[in-house]
Every structure is written in structure tokens, then in C-alpha cells.
Structure 1
Amino acid sequence: MRKLIMKTERLTNQETQRAGDLLKAGEVVAFPTETVYGLGADATNDEAVKKVFIAKGRPSDNPLIMTVADIAQLDPFVTISDMAQLLMAHFWPGSLTIILPIKPGKVSMLVTGGLQTVAFRLPDNDVARAVIRAAGVPIVGPSANTSGKPSPTTAAHVWHDMQGKIAGIVDDGPTQIGVESTVIDMSATTPTILRPGAVTQQQLEAVLNMPVVDATSTKSVASNVTPKAPGMKYRHYAPDKNVVMFDRLDALDLKNELQKNDVVMAQEPTLSAMQLSLDQSWSLGETLESATEQLFSGLRFYDDEIQVATIYVEKMSPIGLGKAYNNRLAKSAGNQEFSV
């Protein structure tokens, strides 16, 4: 029997009510945020949530983030501490995901991966919030890509991975940040960062006026343990092509080692020094922000180029947003690094 393919509607950023109607009907709809595109479904509808796991090919013990249009939508589901409220007041809407203890029986174990905690985010994107308001409920919001692959930063990326698998895609143009939100665990005794993003450890400590543990360099959790946040256990952000990191200081040595079908993703000063042809290079711009915004786009582009063998990608200084960039790059590369 031939497998049925779902019709995927391509919606504009003015068609948020249609997106909300599809979500109310238990369908899966991709939506924009300021970080990456998310894959939305009614977080209170188990059958809808199951469709997200199927569309992504996502392991069932990998918890999902619940995405809301306003803070009031959290009240039925979680207990919010004073410190968590402080973070929400400073960083929401924005690219900070906060893990909180759930009220007994109020959040599906499909969403939490069986844990007694759940992660919430309020995105800094008007279209995303309009879609959630139209749905009338919090929606789950993992990145709208095939599980393990680079995250989507345009609607075209979502279409590439999800066409025929979901009901709709809301197009709001390219995302601004380009990597997923910072995840902080506020259910622990000490606030703990589980995934780096645009909101930094220093910013969090300044608001909370206390130390914040950064656990993002910790090795992946054991196979029999459910991770508290996405990206901690399973392969993430990785193209099928071989990816290797390199340091700017090694750029000229790398140029001497490049093979015909190798390509380089780097910032403008590095590319200028290497003097590569246009068909062998992808510009990450001149700033850390532009590099972060372009990272997944470049990886996705070269992954679809049949002739490409290895993608060499420049690392950034591990400060602020650079820590999030390097985190995603290291996972994409499986920690492979060019050395002289």
C-alpha cells in the first residue's frame, strides 16, 4: 500500500487564525520564532503531540518545550517561583526557556518525557504569539526539522524537511538569532543552564544576583536517563556531510589541506585571508551575530550539494553568544577539529 502524503499549506504571516484553527483541529503547524522555526501542536492534546514525534522522527524520551503567548498561560500547569518570575520579567518575550516543576497531573507525560518538570518559552515574535493566541492553548515547539539535523531558520528549510508530514507552515521570513534559546533549569536547588543560547550566564546571574551553574559542557546523559532539556542526549544539528571545526589562526594551514570537494564556512576576514573561490566558501559575515544567524543555513545548503565532501566551519570566541554558536557547531561536527 502506498503511503499517504499530507497536504502542507504554505501560510503567510497574516494567516495566523488559519494556523490556530489547524492547531485546534489537532494538526501540526510550523511557526516562526526569533531563534529558529518551531513545530507546533496543541500541548494539551496527546494525539496532536504524537504527530510531532512522528513528523520529526524524535525519540519519545526527548522532552518538548511548551510555548506560550503570555505568562498567564503557565498558571494551570506549573508552580512559578519568585526567581523564575524575575527571569520572566527581564527576559520574556525572548530566547530563554525556563524549566519548572509541574502541578501533579497537569502536563502530559508525552510532553515531559515522563519527568515531573516541563520547559516553557515565550518567543519574541509577534506572529508566533498570534498563532498561539489563535490556538487558545500552549503549543509544543521543538525545532521544525528532521530530528538530529540542522535547525531551520527559514520557511524553505521547514518545507524541505516537513512538506507532506505536517498541515501547515507559517512563513515570517528568516529568523533573527539563528540558534535555539538558552535553557535554564529553575526546578533545581541552584539555577542551571542546560543549553546555551543568546541569553548568557552573566546576564542570568546579574538578574538573579546569585551564581548560575553552566552544565552545557557536561557529557550527554546516559542511555537509560531522560534528559531534562533537548540537545542533551541525542545527536543534534548534524548534516549528513562530514563537518570539521577550525580556528582562524589555522586558516592558511587549512587552505593547504583542502581537497577539491571541500568547502569552508567562515567570517569575511578569514575568507579574505584564505582567498577561496566563491563556490568553495560560505560567508558567516563579520560579526558574531551574523555568524550565528548563518550557521544552520550554510550547513543545510552544503548538505544538499552532492559534490561536497567535507564542510570546514570556523569557530568563534567562546564568549557570550559565541558559546551557543560553538556548542551547536561542536555537535554538528561530532567534536571533530582540524589540527596542524
Structure 2
Amino acid sequence: MITKIVRVDSKNIDNDIILEAGKVIKTGGLVAFPTETVYGLGANALDGEAVKKIFAAKGRPQDNPLIVHISDFESIDKVAACVPKSAEKLAEKFWPGPMTLIMEKKAIVSDITSAGLSTIGIRMPSDEIARELIKAAGVPIAAPSANISGLPSPTDIERCIDDLNGKVDYIIGGEKSEFGLESTVIDCTTNPICILRPGAITLEMIKSVEKEAYIDPAVMDKPKDNLKPKAPGMKYKHYAPKAPVKIIEGDFQKTIEKINEMVQNYIGEGKKVGIMATDETKDSYKNALVMSLGTRKDIYSIGKNLFETLRSFDDKSVDIILSESFEESGFGVAVMNRLNKSAGFDIIKV
């Protein structure tokens, strides 16, 4: 397959490109496109055969449900069998934006899209290119992240090309993703509502609308083998680079000392070590490839850079990645959720 690759200026969108890509979606093809969270790989959510192509291109397990992307509020009723009051209030407050709401689905949405579930996650992205593409397609777009399943999600066009060139019909490049982590997923079929995947719309923000909202306790734990996921990323190992990741968690100074000790041990084994640090600690490490995620004063910058930094260590062919941990509050909950999964929950407490 020859993949058409184009770049679009989000401030001056080329309508001809969007119309062409929209036609690809409408006629059963695959298009990778930018969103404010990560880049997505889209197909017609109503066409089961088209959606199957997403699973094939990514190598994604078919029991892992996809999120349906819409361009406007009116489209909710086209895919949701009923819209709970909680979903209405959250959509009014946080859409368009990095939030997915799980509701009972209409039969028009393919069971392939929902992985056989009676529910579906629905999102309205804030990225202008994404919304224009959905409008041009004239159908809701099912879209997971635009990468090989299990690898860190792409936040720019280059990583989409690395993973999907020759496997999809079209790749649209825009700006680097604003948040760098996937959307917050909220189950609105329960009372109280429950967060199944943390993201940029934090628990504290959600509680301002639904005060009884809570995070599923399983979110930060290693998933059970028999789990039937209601949201993407709940069951399988995700966000993992080729090199194994270990998280060192604890007192600031003890963390630095432990990482330096581990570096020396790995060097003794002939291994090339990568360290995922911050602006505050990057000069505290020696004899390893050190990359900073940003400053601890801005957890959103840490999240934005997480996946690309993990990918960059693969570019440098490191054998092991050692990472500092972050406070699990606010957006830090989402950061640690992704980091824990990238490490397969291999956490060393000091």
C-alpha cells in the first residue's frame, strides 16, 4: 500500500486535503490525523470492515474497544442510545477537548468498534484539523492512537510515519499534540460516574461538575488477565518502548542515589542505560544517556514530553530505561498511569 503523507497548517487548513482524506474515511479507508491528545488512526465507526483494518494495521487485540470521534454536540444522539444527565453536563463543560464519555451505544455503531460491548466511548476533539476531517467524512470516526499497538503513542507526524507508512491510506500532519497523553475516559453508565483512564481533564475538574465522581481503583494497578476492558488501555501493556522501563519511586535524594547505583550495575553488565529525569535532576546523573521530561513545576510539560522521550530512547538503542516517578495528583495521575504501564508496573521503592 502506498500511503499519502501531507502536512496541514492548523491555522490555514487546506480544505482540498481535508475533503480528500474525508472521502478516504467515508469509503472504508484509514487516515492518521492529529488531535490535541495524541495522533489518531481513523476509520468509519459505522463500518465494521473498515474498523477491522485499524486492528490489522496496529496489530491491536480486537477485544480492546475504540473511541468514536464526533465534530459537534448534535452528533452524540447519532451514536448514543441515551445520553445520561452526567454526560450532558460534562460535555457542556469540557467539550471540545481531551475527554471521552462512555454511554450505551446505538446499533448503528459497529460491534467491531465497541469490541462487542453495548457501550461506546465518545469524544469531541478540540483540534481543528480533527474536527474538520470528521465533518468532511460525514460519519463518526473510530480512532485509537496512530501507532503499532503497545508502543508509546505518537505526538507528531514523524512517529506516525515510522509506524504506519505503507499500512494506511493517508497520514495528515499538523502541530505536535498539545497534551501528549490520551483523553480522560469517564464511564457515564454508572452512578456515580467513574474514571476508567485519567487524562488532562482531571478528577478535580470532573468533581466540579459531578462531585461524587471517582477513579476506578484498578486504574493504577496491574490489570488482571481476565479483565474485559470497557475503555482503551485498561488491559494490555501499553506505551512501552523496546527497552524495558523501571520506575524508581521515593524520597528525592534517595531516588537519585538509587538510580546512580543501578547505572553502575548495568554498565558492569555491558548495558547502555537511559535515564528519564527532570530539569531539576538531569545534572545529578553520570555515565548514562539522560533526557529531561521538563520541569516538575509544570506537570503538563512532563506529560506532553513523556511518549516522545520514551521513543527517543529507542532511537538511541539503550538497553534499559530508568525513570523517576511523579506525584499522583492532578494531571500527575495520568502521567503515572502511562508511566506505570510503560514499565509493566516494574516499580522499585526506595
| Cα deviation 1:8-27 (Å, max 9, x = unaligned) | 11122232222112112211
- Would you say how many aligned residue pairs link Structure 1 and Structure 2? 330
Post-superposition offset of 1:221? 4.5
Secondary structure, counterpart of 1:263 in structure 2: strand
- For 1:208-219, what aligned pairs fall within 5 Å after superposition? 208-215=210-217, 216-217=219-220, 219=222
2:195–2:213 CA contact under 8 A, matched in 1:
no
Preserved contact between residue 220 and residue 340 of structure 2 (Cα < 8 Å) = no
Shift of 1:303: 1.7
Match of 2:282 in 1: 271
The CA distance in 2 between the partners of 1:31 and 1:180, in whole Å, is: 14
Residue 321 (1) aligns with residue 331 (2) = yes
Query: Residues 169-202 of structure 1, C-alpha deviation per residue, up to 9 Å, x if partnerless?
Result: 1101211111101100001232011011111111
Partner residue of 1:301? 312
In structure 1, how many angstroms separate the alpha carbons of the residues matched to 2:273 and 2:100?
Answer: 36
Cα distance in 1 for residues equivalent to 2:151 and 2:83: 33
| Kept after mapping to 1: 8 A contact 2:222/2:344 | no
In 2, Cα distance between the equivalents of 1:290 and 1:230? 23
Equivalent position of 2:11 in the other structure = none
5 Å-filtered alignment, 1:281-296, equals 281-286=290-295, 287-296=298-307
Matched, 1:53 2:55: yes
Deviations 1:69-117 (A, max 9, x none): 11111212211122110000001011110000123x2221101111110
1:3 corresponding residue in structure 2 = none
Instruction: Return 19-28 or 32-41, whichever deviates more.
Output: 19-28
For the 8 Å contact 2:192–2:212, the answer to whether it is kept is no
CA contact (8 A) 2:194 2:213 kept: no
Give TM-score scaled by structure 2 length. 0.90
Q: How does 1:185-200 map to 2 (within 5 A)?
A: 185-200=187-202
Bigger CA drift: 296-305 or 24-33? Answer: 296-305
Q: Could you tell me how far apart the structure 2 residues matched to 1:241 and 1:163 are?
A: 23
Q: 1:270, CA displacement in angstroms?
A: 0.9
Residue 11 of structure 1 aligns with which residue?
6
Other structure's SS at 2:322 match: strand
TM-superposition CA deviations, 1:252-282 (whole Å, max 9, x none): 33123314410111111111233x47x7111
Of 94, 97, 105, 1:94 maps to: 97
Residues 95-134 of structure 1 mapped to structure 2, 5 A cutoff? 95-103=98-106, 105-134=107-136
Q: Distance in 2 between matches of 1:210 and 1:167?
A: 44
Instruction: Note the C-alpha offset of 1:339.
Output: 4.6
Residue from 160, 173, 176 that aligns with 1:171 = 173
Q: Secondary structure at the match of 2:65?
A: coil
Secondary structure of the residue aligned to 1:208 is coil
Q: Provide the C-alpha distance between the structure 1 equivalents of 2:349 and 2:320, rounded to a whole number of angstroms.
A: 15
Q: Which moved more, 1:259-268 or 1:63-72?
A: 259-268
Does the 8 Å contact 1:150/1:237 carry over to 2? yes
Residue 218 of structure 1, CA deviation? 5.0
- Give the match's secondary structure for 1:83: helix
- Residue among 162, 182, 185 paired with 1:183: 185
- When structure 1 is superposed on structure 2, of 48-57 and 206-215 the one drifting more is 206-215
Unpaired runs of 5+ in structure 1? 1-5
- Structure 1 window deviating more from structure 2 (48-57 vs 210-219): it is 210-219
TM-score normalised by structure 1 residue count: 0.93
Other-structure match for 1:242 = 244
Runs of 4+ in 1 over 6 A off after TM superposition: none
> What is aligned with 1:336?
346
Q: Which secondary structure does the structure 2 equivalent of 1:324 belong to?
A: helix
Q: Is the 8 A contact 1:201 1:214 kept in 2?
A: no
CA distance in 2, matches of 1:45, 1:335: 36
Check the 8 A contact 2:222/2:345 in 1, yes or no. no
Given residue 327 of structure 1, which amino acid in structure 2 is its aligned partner?
Answer: N
Which amino acid in 2 is paired with 1:164? G
171-180 or 244-253, which deviates more: 244-253
Report the secondary structure of 1:330's partner residue. Answer: helix
Residues 25 and 137 of structure 2 are in contact (CA less than 8 Å); yes or no, is this contact kept in structure 1?
yes
The amino acid that maps onto 2:275 is V
- Paired with 1:330 and 1:296, the residues of 2 have a C-alpha distance of 13
